[in-house]
Amino acid sequence: MSNLAVLPIIIPLIAGIIVALFNSKVPITRILTKILSIISLAVVSYISWLVFTEGAIILETGGWIAPYGIVLVADPLATLLVLTTNIVAVACAFFAPHALTLKQEQHYFYAFYFFLISGVSGAFLTGDLFNLFVFFEVLLMASYALIVLGGDKVQLRESIKYVLINLFSSILFVTAVAFIYGAVGTVNMAQIAERVSEVDQDGILTTIAILLFFVFATKAALFPLYYWMPKSYIVPNPVVSALFAALLTKVGIYSILRVFSLIFVHEMELTHQFFLWIAGLSMVFGVIGALSTNNIKLIIAYNIIPAIGFIIMGIGVLNEDALSGSIYYLIHDMIIKTVLFLIVSVVAYVAGTSDLRKMGGLIHYYPILGWLLFISAFVLAGIPPFSGFIGKFLLLKGALAANEIAIVLVALLSSLLILYSVMKIFIRGFWGEKDESGKYKMKSTKGFIAPIVFLLLFSIFLGIGAEFIYPSIESISSYLLDPQLYIDSVLKE
Amino acid sequence: MEIIIAILSGVLMTTGVYNLLQKQLLRIVIGTVLLSHGAHLFILTMGKLKTGQPPILHDGIENYTDPLPQALILTSIVISFGITSLLLVLAYRTARENNTDNMEKLRGTENE
Amino acid sequence: MLFAVLLPLLFAILVPMLSKWKHKIHTGIFVFFIPFLIFLYFIRFVGNDFTPVRQVYNWIPSLGINFDFYLDGLSLLFVLLISGIGSLVVFYSIYYLHVSERLGSFYVYLLMFMTAMLGVVLSDNLFVLYTFWELTSISSFLLIGYWHYRERSRYGAQKSMLITVFGGLSMLGGFILLTVITGTTSIQEMITQTDLILSSDYLPLIMGLILLGAFTKSAQFPFHIWLPDAMEAPTPVSAYLHSATMVKAGIFLVARFSPIFATYEWFFIIVSIVGIATLCWASYMAVRQTDLKGILAFSTISQLGMIMAMLGFGTKAAIFAAIFHILNHATFKGSLFMVAGIIDHETGTRDIRRLGGLLTVMPITATLAVFGTFSMAGIPLPFLNGFYSKEMFFEATLHLNEVVNPIANVIIPLIPYLAVFGSIFTFVYSMYFFFGVFTGPKQFDKLKIKPHEAPIGMLVSPIILVVGVVFIGLFPNSVNGTFLIHAAEAVNNAVEIKDIHFWHGWIPPLFMSLAVVGIGALLYLTREKWSNVYHVLPGKMSMNKVYDGLVKNVDTFSTRLTNTYMTGSLKTYMSIILGTIIFVTFIVMISTNGFNMEFNNLAEVTWIELAVVVIIIIAALATMFTTSKLGAILITGVVGYGVATLFVIYRAPDLALTQLVIETVSVALFLLCFYHLPKLEKRKESTGSKLNNMIISIGFGALMTLIAISAHSTEWFDPISDYFIETAYKLGGGHNVVNVILVDMRGLDTLFEIAVLGIAALAIFSLIKLRKDKEAE
């Protein structure tokens, strides 16, 4: 037993309180944020190293043995996601001062930022279903605060929809937890898993499972529950959008991954087949959305949906290759979505508009930005040797091995359209005649580029250096495929 | 009685959702409040109702009601309160900034 | 070999630096040495006793993705084409591209392409092959869009990318299926498992997906449409990528997989039909073009179709002819593209209608063009290599394998006629190209530049290629045993080495050739009279229109579809979300037989409770109908206090207290916030909308109740709470179990519950502060 598992949650919480105290002195909060986010990343890296060399760290909080107290389970999957979260967070911490207005910084941006990280890490680490709800609320509350930051008309308008839909899904979540408690008499995930398997996932449990799926699917922005997402992701400050894209929907999909690989795995014919349908429809409708608009931020926001579709496809197939693919894709997507949101926000900033129809020839002024976008488009679409390919390759291989041909064809076609939707920005926005009117008078992109490059390098390494990473992912998925391992490590019976 | 409470919670949720589907902000917020009440009663029902004394330990009493749902509800009540407060302020600000409390007028168009 | 493949890419890193000195030394001079060195490296493998070489470098061994280079005869042929033509093209580009152009970008893309193409033809590993394959598409995209300030360039680049990446992705699907079936990622190992693949249920799918990749890349009908638009690229690029190398990647792929699919009848049928159709359609269309590069583009498409068809025939003779023609086509078409580039460069136009009579001013270019066009036309002269392979093609069409299949039975007798048909038009456009440019009336006054012969440096590369044309024509056997045999062997084991002769005697292929020349000449001379036929076919039909329509429709359709549901209306969103949840969950509940109800062990019903319940229900219902702001808020308060009363009844004192306090504060907050807001209105709604709301809300409430009853009725397990009651005092030190749980056992919940409140407070504070800030402004 080690207290280390709580650090990824506590450090950002304390950091948030500290920066909230220094709020009036913006230069100090900026530096503090950078330092604290790096400290957090360092600690998480150390924990990850421990977990990957010595196995999962289980923390029974307050010393109360599972399943009675709340357990934190830093297993490889959770740790990997926490690590990725922190990598993204560091990049955003360095990007933020350049993108935010002083007003926004003074309105506690940095504090909310840390609370968000804390909630997200907690959601990844907890082994208790009700506690998961609590962490969901932490991250949602932080996200509510972040989304209204600045308080434009448009922002308020979209925020209230965002808050209401998420509030509804939270209520549904707590109700579903109640039902689970009613049926199996516990809220500890390992014990739920054990008990569900003892009664062979009776019909009512499958019903509750689907209810729980919808709760997470709403957060994950899956078809047909994603309506709240695209527009509410483009109204806040770009850093906030990037954080949301990287983390919020991913917490939802992580929860589905956890719950439907650990607990509800006894009615695969029904639940997981259903996931494949959802996956296919998410891919189709996501890319259709991405193609429907000329707003570059909206293009990227819609692209979140097919990515989530890819991940859930692996959960639907649930064999080792497909699951590895899902996890790989999850990590990949957290990073590349942040990159893309940051890039398009800079593009919108230098072009003075988000409307693709009003841009052109940007590459003459901003070549580096253009090439970053170009590479990111291929990373996103899963063109080798970049990271998206490895995930997609594994997903498709797993799906084909399970004879799921149709979903593979949909996935391939949607990859093409994803590429098209993002390349459109490059072709129409960056290519073209040099604008001499001074419309794009040189705006400095100093400070924007470094965090983007930092993340993009990670992403490229995930692809080219797959040999270093894949074995860990493979061990995670084989671990997930045997729920008993998780149950035993938590309940120690 | 559990069944009656379950039905009551169902009714609360029904009215909650009905209000949620309205146009005016106040009704929508009230809808969320009703939904939370429904959820809390569901939790309460899931521990067996009234099978014993309040879970405050006294010598000689063997039979207590299930304390865990109560703890969960308490956490949930506090969280709901936090969100409701935020929602109220947000609703107020939104209505003020946009000069309407009608959600159907808050649709927004693309590319703004 | 890894180094040889990656050398161009590595060198590309230096190019931006070298291009800074471009005004002193043309960047192309440095770049030229790269393909040339690679050519020298690989040329030493050529010889009669060549045996395949394999070199493996690990990349991602745990996924079976490695740089597994396999140099056999087929790869060797392609590698030499890539590096050889590559050297000539780079050399040519030194004179073609002015230093004021963005030379750095140009050569970076070109070098990237070299690595990619070398990788494609050398990789034995499917996924490394795929990686390089997509890289060729990307570099081609960039090169086509090189002059991206032109609308046509952007259009062409996007089109080529969409079509070739589409093919690439479908090919990937086929590759993964193959890997799943055979358990290996190596093509050569798959060839040893041919029987397994041929007996798979997925065989048609695998072949279809892979062929889609090949057909799109090699511009086969109906995917050929991207190639003419790719002519927006600088001419050296057209000569290199879009004629000699990249477009042959599809041919290469089909050749590579021939050993696996050759005995599958549908392979023969599809590849032959597509190949022949492409040959005929493109050569027919080429005659209509007015742009020199347009003619050459369609010509390239048709020649690729011819090679594809021969691979489809699958007979030993056909495959040998296909290999031979790959080489020949690279020589004569490469030289012709360079000729077109020279004409463009020295006259300022590529429009054949404005050209004419250049023979006297550009004699060397004209000579080169004679050899190129006549070889392409397949005119029976002993010093033109095009004739040899063309005649072998005719020969092959006459000796096809027997295939028992109704469709095959129909097409086999037709193929020779179609082959002649396509070749006739090849003859016509070849003549049109040469005579249209170099003979006829001079109209120099219509040109921007006064035409003159090209500088010698620009002529070197096409001269070398034309020398190749003549050399192979005169001594065809010099490349036979050393080179072609090994390549053919790789496609179709054990090829008998036979000498290539010019004269075979009066046999059918010769008559076919003569027919081509005769009818072709006639058609060429009378072309004005029959050119109206193009108004009938293709007339208004064209694959281009299909493509444009598709791209446009995808955009408008997606916009329209998305706008129908992304209305921005919360009500719509909620209705869809709720509707889905209710519908799916009900179905799951029914199909899993999830409902159960148990009346034992229920608490008694008392009047007090019932009264409270009724009050709450009435209050809840009243919220739906009240039109007074104050009333609505107070009624909501009644519900809250009612719930608190229930908490009292159900032995939850802490809850009751908390609920009371919070309810009071909430009501106050409600009043504060909504005091200034507009009044509640009577709902003006259509009955349909009302009904919709009713159904959804009742459905949801009913669903939740049913699940609650079922969940509650299960009696499988005891809740874990007994432990809390046992240990609350002993270990937790408190009498109030709920409190002990909150602060100790589930302390983390409470900590973060407080955090939530804190964040909410901060958020509210920031919202209010915001308002003050705004008002201050």
pLDDT 10s digits, A196-207 = 998 888 888 999
Q: Which residues of B touch C623 (CB under 8 A)?
A: 15, 19, 27, 30, 34
CA A324 to chain centre: 16
Query: What is the spatial distance between Cα A93 and Cα A62, in angstroms, rounded to a whole number?
Result: 32
Pick from C708, C750, C770: CB nearest B45: C708
Structure tokens at A180: 């689970």
pLDDT cut 70: percent of chain B above it:
95
Over the stretch C301-346, which tens digit does the pLDDT of each residue have?
999 999 999 999 988 888 888 999 999 999 999 999 999 999 988 8
Over the stretch C637-687, which tens digit does the pLDDT of each residue have?
999 999 999 998 888 888 999 999 999 999 998 888 877 666 666 656 778
* Interchain CB distance below 8 Å, A186 and C720: yes
**The length of chain C, given as a count of residues:** 777
Band of the pLDDT at C28, cuts 50, 70, 90? confident
* pLDDT at position A433: 84
Query: What is the spatial distance between Cα C738 and Cα C657, in angstroms, rounded to a whole number?
Result: 13
Query: What is the spatial distance between Cα C481 and Cα C488, in angstroms, rounded to a whole number?
Result: 11
Running DSSP on this structure, what letter comes out for residue A357? Answer: G
What residues contact residue C750 under an 8 Å CB cut-off, 6+ apart? B75, C742, C743
Query: What is the spatial distance between Cα C267 and Cα C281, in angstroms, rounded to a whole number?
Result: 21
For residue A88, is pLDDT > 90? yes
For residue B111, is pLDDT > 50? no
Structure tokens at C289: 């073009």
Angle, in degrees to the nearest 10, between helices A387-401 and A296-317: 40
Domains of chain B are 2-50+65-104 (1.10.287.3510)
Band of the pLDDT at C495, cuts 50, 70, 90? low
* Of A204-208, A341-345, C402-406, the least confident: C402-406
Tell me which residue of B24, B18, B32 sits closest to B84, measured CA to CA.
B32
Q: Exposed (0-12), middle (13-18) or buried (19+): which is B59, by Cβ within 10 Å?
A: exposed
Q: What backbone torsions phi and psi does residue C56 show, to the nearest 5 degrees?
A: -115, 130
- Quick check: B83 contacting A, CB < 8 Å? yes
Q: Which residue has the tokens 């916009």?
A: C559
Q: Residue C753's closest chain A neighbor by CA?
A: A134
- C-alpha distance from B3 to closest chain C C-alpha (Å): 6
Tell me what the pLDDT averaged over chain C comes to: 88
* pLDDT at position A282: 94
SS3 of C264, please?
Answer: coil
* pLDDT at position C497: 60
User: Which chains reach chain B with 3 or more Cβ–Cβ distances below 8 angstroms?
Assistant: A, C
Band of the pLDDT at A330, cuts 50, 70, 90? very high
* pLDDT at position A85: 96
Tell me which residue of C635, C646, C656, C641 sits closest to C609, measured CA to CA.
C646
Query: What is the spatial distance between Cα C522 and Cα C512, in angstroms, rounded to a whole number?
Result: 15
**Residue range B80-105: average pLDDT?**
86
Pick from C617, C693, C750: CB nearest B75: C750
Over the stretch A125-147, which tens digit does the pLDDT of each residue have?
999 999 999 999 999 999 999 99
Structure tokens at A197: 């398997």
* pLDDT at position C23: 82
* pLDDT at position C540: 66
Pick from C145, C592, C763: CB nearest A270: C592
Query: What is the spatial distance between Cα A187 and Cα A68, in angstroms, rounded to a whole number?
Result: 9
Rg (CA), chain C: 38
Q: Which residues of A touch B46 (CB under 8 A)?
A: 178-179, 181-182
SS3 of B4, please?
Answer: helix
Beta strand ranges found along A71-110 (DSSP E): 71-74
**Residue range A425-441: average pLDDT?**
82
SS3 of C69, please?
Answer: strand
Running DSSP on this structure, what letter comes out for residue C124? Answer: -
- Quick check: C696 contacting B, CB < 8 Å? yes
Chain C, 698 to 737: residues with Cβ < 8 Å from chain B are 698, 700-702, 704-705, 708-709, 711-712, 719-721, 724-725, 728-729, 735-737
Q: Residue B93's closest chain A neighbor by CA?
A: A156
**Amino acid identity for residue A403 in this structure:** N
What residues contact residue B34 under an 8 Å CB cut-off, 6+ apart? B12, B13, B15, B16, B19, C620, C623, C636, C639
- Quick check: B32 contacting C, CB < 8 Å? no
Report the first-to-last Cα separation within chain B, whole angstroms. Answer: 54
Pick from A115, A188, A419: CB nearest C755: A115
SS3 of C15, please?
Answer: helix
* pLDDT at position C162: 93
* Interchain CB distance below 8 Å, B86 and A159: no
For residue C261, is pLDDT > 60? yes
CA distances from residue A415 to A420, B107, C246 in whole angstroms, order as listed:
9, 31, 23
Model-wide pTM > 0.90: yes
* Interchain CB distance below 8 Å, A168 and B20: yes
ipTM of the prediction: 0.94
- Quick check: A355 contacting B, CB < 8 Å? yes
Is the peptide bond prior to C653 cis by the omega test (within 30 degrees of 0)? no
Q: Exposed (0-12), middle (13-18) or buried (19+): which is C577, by Cβ within 10 Å?
A: buried
For residue C777, is pLDDT > 70? no
- Quick check: C388 contacting B, CB < 8 Å? no
For residue C149, is pLDDT > 60? yes
Size of interface A-B (CB pairs under 8 A): 104
* Interchain CB distance below 8 Å, A179 and C566: no
* pLDDT at position B112: 42
CA C242 to chain centre: 17
**Amino acid identity for residue C640 in this structure:** G
Tell me what the pLDDT averaged over chain A comes to: 91
Band of the pLDDT at A55, cuts 50, 70, 90? confident
Tell me which residue of A343, A283, A341 sits closest to A307, measured CA to CA.
A283
- C-alpha distance from A235 to closest chain B C-alpha (Å): 10
- Quick check: A321 contacting C, CB < 8 Å? no
pLDDT cut 70: percent of chain C above it:
97
- C-alpha distance from B44 to closest chain A C-alpha (Å): 8
Q: Which residues of A touch B42 (CB under 8 A)?
A: 175, 178-179
Over the stretch B22-74, which tens digit does the pLDDT of each residue have?
888 888 999 999 999 999 999 988 877 766 777 888 877 777 888 899 999 99
Bridge-partner residues for C54, per DSSP?
C70
Band of the pLDDT at B110, cuts 50, 70, 90? very low
Query: What is the spatial distance between Cα A446 and Cα C81, in angstroms, rounded to a whole number?
Result: 45
Q: Where are the domains of chain A?
A: 3-491
* Interchain CB distance below 8 Å, B106 and A293: no
